[in-house]
Amino acid sequence: MSDPIRVLVVDDSALMRKLIPQILQADGSIQVVGTAIDGSFALKKIEELKPQVVTLDLEMPGMSGMQALREITMRYRLPVIVVSSHTTQGASATFKALAMGALDFVAKPHDASAHMQQVAQELIGKIKIAANTGAPRAPSAPSLSFHKPEKPRQRLRRSPTRVVAIGISTGGPNALQYLLAQLPGDFPGSILVVQHMPEGFTDMFARRLDECCSLEVKEAQSGDLLQAGRVLICPGNRHMRVRRMPLGDVVVLSDEPRVNGHRPSVDVLFRSVADEFGPASLAVLMTGMGDDGADAMGAVKAAGGMTIAQDKESCTVFGMPRAAIERGHAIRVVGLDVLANTLQAQCLHEVQPVGRLARAQAGQTG
Amino acid sequence: MNFFSDDRMTELRQLFFESAQEILQVLNEEALRLEKAPEDAEIVRSIRRAVHTLKGDSAAVGFRELSQIAHELEDALAPEVTSAAPGADLVELVLSSADTFDGILAAHRGSLPLPSVEPLRAAIAKLRPGANGKTQLPSRAPSASLVSWSEYQQIAINQALQRGTRVYRIAADLDPNCPMKAAAWQLFHNVLQRAGEVLAVQPENAGAENVSHFEVVISSQKPEAWIADRCLIPAVIAGVKVTPWKARQPGQAPAAESAAPQTAAALESILRVDAERLDQLLNLIGELIIGRSMLQQVLGEFSRRFPKDSLRARFADAMAFQTRVLNDLQRSAMQVRMVPVEQLFRRFPRLVRDVAKQCGKEVALLLSGQQTELDKSILDAIAEPLAHLVRNAIDHGLESPEERQKAGKPGKGAIRLNAYHQGNHVVVEVSDDGRGLDPALILNKAVERGLLSSDEAARLSPAEVLELIFRPGFTTAEQVTEISGRGVGMDVVQSVVQRLKGAISIQSQPGQGTTFVIKLPLTLAIIKSLLLRIQERLYAIPLNAVVEISRASEGAIHRVDNHEVLQLRNTVLTLVRLGSPPSEFNPGKRIFVLVIALGERRYGLIVDTLVGEEELVIKPLDGQVVASELVSGASILGDGTVVLMLNLVAVVEHYSRQSLAPLPAAPAQLAPPPSPATSLPGGAR
């Protein structure tokens, strides 16, 4: 057996400094080597205890969480997992932290007795990833978040040429921001995103993305229309499907049970896009652990749609794309830096959406 | 599946309660600081951070209500809100929040029904803009729809409007008694379809079990009244409202976000240890010390038997080494239990503020000696008595501002809390600069209440007069007020202090003020003791109570008013004799008299022989083993002998009080001696 992963827990709450190690102790391969009450203590303890992964609360007295984060990622080159509170401020700070180099985040443990299993799995999983990936690369395209992109004055309600469904998990926020910021405001496709993220964070996530790209980005609501140049982000803890309606194509949210251990699940979105849009669908699996979306990518391919997996080099975690590639469902494997161009090219020409029913009929006649 | 065992959850909750208490303390302190510096945004930030932590912690242990209300408070403390609110309101809000949180915590701890948070919620709402209608964005009018229509639904509605049909919004409530919600919805939907085209329905899951209100948009050629009439299905739909469609009002703009920058003093790195574990550690050290004296005893025996043996010296060396290490170990273990008095003092600013407000007095609180360290258990025990003294000092000790000015004092009274080391003791003083205690008034009261006769009253020294206020049933206040009359009387204060093997005394100057001096042992667990024999029985008394050891002969003892007294140099010492006086009076018999100090008073304890000095690990004895309160604990000596620790206060009380009672002469009628040693079963420990 390999040595346990050494973790330092930084939180100003005494309760969390007890609770988080307890959660982590459930897994034998993780060892909490210490806890720290604020940023400056954290830095001292890093020198002393040499942890491999740091969990960090952003709201602390003394040296702020952001400052500590900068030091930990830049100076000590350690992966940081932010333990974030559920408020809007919390979400906002969290995304700032991700942009500054935090590897990932989890929501603060909530109602320890009820949901702990889930919280534990998520946190343990992310720590293992962090230990494997090591220090994050320099924050991707930091300048992008500073200049306000130009938005088209007025967006015409246009049906999209294609429906681009993106499934993404660990490492997602930064990769997605990088991708979307490169797409022009008149991008002809409509983009749907399932990002594995806890409830309460997706709204802020969508708003942040909206601020830094020319596309219109919003958290999806049931009945929102698929439009060219629009990105709909599936809210946390719900599933997102598409439906073609007489007056337009819409997304529908639902509260069905978790699929592949996830809600939202990429599989659910991909399958529904394949069913409704057939060859006009385009599925993209990006960085993330696990294999959510890999199977349903096969359905997209079978329905005549395009399937793209992000390549290993540009992935924070090469899990979901690899699963799709290994199962033979990915038609193309593309790096993050060229993904925007690829999508642009793929969506340039309108593809006639053919639903499941029509395909079935065509299959019978043909 | 439950991830945490109940044990762990309990432990976690326990930790939560502790840290929450600290957070409340911070809230109280910061609020008081804010009261002095209302403009200081940094204090508000610090308060907000504390509330934030409380919110997260309480959510983690599943106390939703607490988390929710803390969340609301946190939002209200956002810089953009607080900058508009006057500091005083904020102080009141934070203080009352702390109280409400405290109430909720207490309820959780005792599994009691939660207190209402509505008053606090209302107070929070008052602080937020919008309650006074100044800065709020135009929000939805009360009659406006509570639902928002999806984009697709809006397209459908707009298209219908463009076609020129009439569009109605229908809001309907299900009859709460209707048993099948799904069927009811279906019935209603059927009616709607007959009336026209259904364009939109909210909520999406209409027909689900928990949905009792829904809104529908239909296009229809039928008049409003007709639709309303049809929709009102008896026993299914309780109420319905039909209005012609109007363009929706703009939604609320997203609120500006800002994350507060965070800077504050770094805290110390602190390890939290359960007090019980420390007690256990100390207990084991106590056993070690007993073990050492056993070894010492054996070594003594060995040396006597083999005075020439070379092993003896090595034995003694090893012994000396062990003793030294053991002393260090004991000292460090004690050190761990020591906490600065500050932990106790920091509660007082809030208390003083509240009591002063209630009494309508202005009070300045001066703290000093906060760094003085004291055993944690002692600290906890004196918290309530100390609070009582402070309340009393403000309520009774300090004069009203007018009175003070008449007496030429500043209108603002001063309460001082001070702590310092004195030998093996810690002294805590509570003083005020008020009117002082009036001995005449106290005497009158005491006689009036039948606490003593006027004869006795005449004989009391000034110090003794003041100490009358510690007698049960004595109150100087004209009325029992809400503040002081809390059932904790001065007698309780004294008995707590005495239980802790401490003493309390009073110094008072009329017109200048009163000081209560509480003298406490540094720690309770291990006590330097003097071993002595009285009538062949072995006892121990705390060495630090002994001021002087003197010798006398029985012939030097005089009897005055049923007391045995001894003239020692220039003072007359009241004697306490455990056990009966010798049956045959032998004026030449030499005895020891231990001069012991209790508070300001001194007594002589008559002792037959002195055995020696020893550090004793005192084990408390419960009532089943020893019924007498004259004994405060027991210990075991190296040779296995059990020795009883005398509770000097009770002993002196017992014997001197008894002789105070007007007994007709004969000292033989004194109460029989306590015989705790005989009532202690052999080897009980």
What torsion do the CA atoms of B215, B219, B225, B228 make, to the nearest 10 degrees?
-30
- For residue B263, the model assigns a pLDDT of 32
CB contact A83 to B (< 8 Å) = no
Burial class (CB in 10 A: 0-12, 13-18, 19+), B495: middle
Backbone angles phi, psi at B160, to 5 degrees: -60, -40
Model pLDDT, residue B682: 37
CB-CB contact of A73 with A46 (8 Å): no
Contacts of residue B660, Cβ cutoff 8 Å, sequence gap at least 6: B456, B562
Distance of residue A289 Cα from the nearest chain B Cα, in angstroms: 23
Separation CA B220–CA B167 (nearest Å): 6
For B18-44, b where at least 16 C-beta lie within 10 A, e where not — what string?
ebbeebbbbbbbbbbbbbeebeeebbb
Q: Report pLDDT digits (tens) over A138-189.
A: 544 444 444 556 666 665 567 788 889 999 988 888 888 888 888 888 888 8
Q: What pLDDT, in 10s, does the model give residues A251-297?
A: 888 888 888 888 889 999 999 998 888 888 899 999 988 889 889 99
CA distance A50 to A47: 6
Quick one: tokens of B257?
């976000």
Those residues with Cβ within 8 angstroms of residue A91's Cβ, 6 or more apart along the chain or in another chain? A84, A200, A201, A203, A204, A205
Does residue B199 sit in helix, strand or coil? strand
The shortest C-alpha distance from B125 to chain A (Å) reads: 18
If you average pLDDT over residues B664-671, what whole number do you get? Answer: 35
Model pTM?
0.55
First to last CA, chain B: 46
pLDDT of residue B138: 36
* Interchain contact, B159 vs A247, CB within 8 Å: yes
Predicted confidence (pLDDT) per residue in B432-449, tens digit: 888 888 888 888 878 887
Q: Which residues of chain A have pLDDT under 50?
A: 139-146, 366
Provide mean pLDDT across the span B43-65. Answer: 82
B-chain residue closest to A84, CA distance: B56
Q: Does B204 touch chain A (CB under 8 A)?
A: yes
- Asked if the bond preceding B176 is cis, omega within 30° of 0, the reply is no
Of A53, A52, A65, nearest to A13 by C-alpha is A65
Q: Which of A150-164, B7-21, B66-80 has the lowest mean pLDDT?
A: A150-164
Pairing between strand A216-219 and A104-107? unpaired
- Please pick, among A196, A239, A262, A329, the residue that the annotation labels catalytic: A196
Q: How far apart are CA B205 and CA B185, in angstroms?
A: 10
Taking Cα atoms as reference points, which of A76, A119, A128, A72 lies closest to residue A97?
A: A72
Alpha helices in A33-167 (DSSP H): 39-49, 65-70, 88-99, 112-133
Are the beta carbons of B34 and B44 closer than 8 angstroms?
A: yes
Element (H, E) at B288: helix B275-305
pLDDT score of A365? 53
Q: Helix A14-25 and helix A112-133: axis angle, to 10°?
A: 70
Where are the strands (E) in B304-392, listed by range?
338-340, 363-368, 373-375
What are the CA-CA distances from residue B603 to residues A156, B520, B573 (Å)?
A: 101, 19, 6
B511: burial class by Cβ within 10 Å (0-12, 13-18, 19+)?
Answer: middle
**Inter-chain CB pairs, A–B, below 8 Å:** 138
B109 Cα distance to chain centroid: 14
Chain B nearest-CA distance from A270, in A, is 22
Q: Which residue type does B407 have?
A: A
Give CA–CA dist A219/B366, Å, rounded: 56
From the list A84, A140, A169, A214, the catalytic residue is: A169
Peptide bond connecting B439 to the previous residue in cis, omega within 30 degrees of 0 = no
Strand order in the sheet with B537-542: B609-617, B526-534, B537-542, B642-646, B631-636
Q: How far from the centroid of its chain's Cα atoms is residue B95's Cα? A: 17
Say what the pLDDT of residue B255 is.
33
Long-range CB pairs of B330-337, under 8 A, 24+ apart, other chains included: B330/B285, B330/B289, B330/B526, B333/B278, B333/B281, B333/B282, B333/B285, B334/B282, B334/B375, B334/B522, B334/B523, B334/B525, B334/B526, B336/B273, B336/B278, B336/B281, B337/B275, B337/B278, B337/B282, B337/B375, B337/B376, B337/B377, B337/B523
pLDDT at residue B430 greater than cutoff 70: yes
Residue B92, both tokens: 């009141």
Closest CA to A195 of A327, A95, A300: A95
State the pLDDT at residue A233: 93
CA separation, residue B226 to residues B196, B221, B222, B230, B242 (Å): 12, 10, 7, 6, 10
Decide if A121 touches B, using CB distance below 8 A.
Answer: no
Say if the Cβ atoms of B59 and A225 lie within 8 Å: no
Asked if B60 has any chain A CB less than 8 Å from its own CB, the reply is yes
Better-predicted residue by pLDDT, B113 or A327: A327
Q: DSSP label at B673?
A: P
| Strand boundaries in chain A, DSSP class E | 5-10, 30-36, 53-57, 80-84, 104-107, 163-168, 190-195, 216-219, 230-233, 239-245, 248-254, 281-285, 306-310, 332-334
Interatomic CA distance for residues A42 and A9, integer angstroms: 8
Nearest to B122, CA basis, from B186, B160, B158, B69: B69
Q: List the single residue in A16, A88, A225 with the smallest CB-CB distance to B60.
A: A16
CA B543 to chain centre: 31
For residue B250, the model assigns a pLDDT of 39
At A164 the pLDDT is: 92
Q: Which residues contact B60 (CB under 8 A, 6 or more apart)?
A: A15, A16, A19, A108, A109, A110, A111, A112, B12, B16
- CB distance from B59 to chain A under 8 Å? yes
Residue of A210, A292, A314, A329 marked catalytic = A292
What are residue B434's phi and psi, to 5 degrees? -90, -145
CB contact under 8 A, B62 and A112: yes
Q: Is B29 helix (H, G, I), strand (E, B) or coil?
A: helix
Closest CA to A355 of A264, A257, A245: A245
Q: By the 8 A CB rule, do B176 and B212 touch?
A: yes
Q: Lowest-pLDDT range, B74-88, B501-515, B536-550? A: B74-88
Asked if B130 has any chain A CB less than 8 Å from its own CB, the reply is no
Q: What end-to-end distance do the CA atoms of chain A give, in Å? A: 57
Residues paired with residue B167 on neighbouring β-strands, in sequence order: B219
* CB within 8 Å of B565: residues ≥ 6 apart: B557, B558, B559, B572, B573, B574, B575
B145 vs B436: CA distance, rounded Å: 69
Q: Which helix (H) or strand (E) holds B22?
A: helix B6-36
With CA atoms as reference, the chain B residue closest to A13 would be B53
**Residues B157, B200: contact at Cβ < 8 Å?**
yes
Predicted local distance difference test score (pLDDT) of residue B265: 34
The Cβ-side half-sphere exposure at B321, using a 13 Å CA radius, reads 6
What was the pLDDT predicted at B209? 65
Facing residue for A111 by CB, picked from B8, B19, B62 = B62
Q: Report CB contact under 8 Å: A62, B262.
A: yes
The mean predicted confidence, pLDDT, of chain B is: 75
DSSP structural state of residue B397? I
Closest of B241, B235, B253 to residue B216, by C-alpha: B241
Number of other CB atoms surrounding residue B14 within 10 Å:
13
Q: At what angle do helices B41-60 and A14-25 cross, to 10 degrees?
A: 30
Using N-to-C axis directions, what is the helix angle for B41-60 and B87-109, rounded to 10°?
20
What is the rounded CA–CA span in Å between residue B406 and residue B408?
Answer: 5
- The SS3 of residue B584 is coil
Joined together, the tokens standing for residue B433 give 């600069």
Give the per-residue pLDDT at B139: 35
Longest C-alpha distance within chain B, in Å? 129
Asked about A186 being catalytic, the answer comes back as no
Q: Which of residues 35-64 of A touch B (CB under 8 A)?
A: 36-38, 40-41, 59-64
| Exposure string for A76-95, b = 16+ CB within 10 A, e = fewer | bebbbbbbbbbbbbbbbbbb
Interface test with A, best of B269, B270, B273, B274 (most A CBs within 10 A): B269
Q: Could you confirm whether A292 is annotated as catalytic?
A: yes
B152 CA: distance to closest CA in chain A (Å) = 5
* Cα angle B216, B218, B222; round to 5: 130
The answer to whether residue B533 scores a pLDDT higher than 80 is: yes
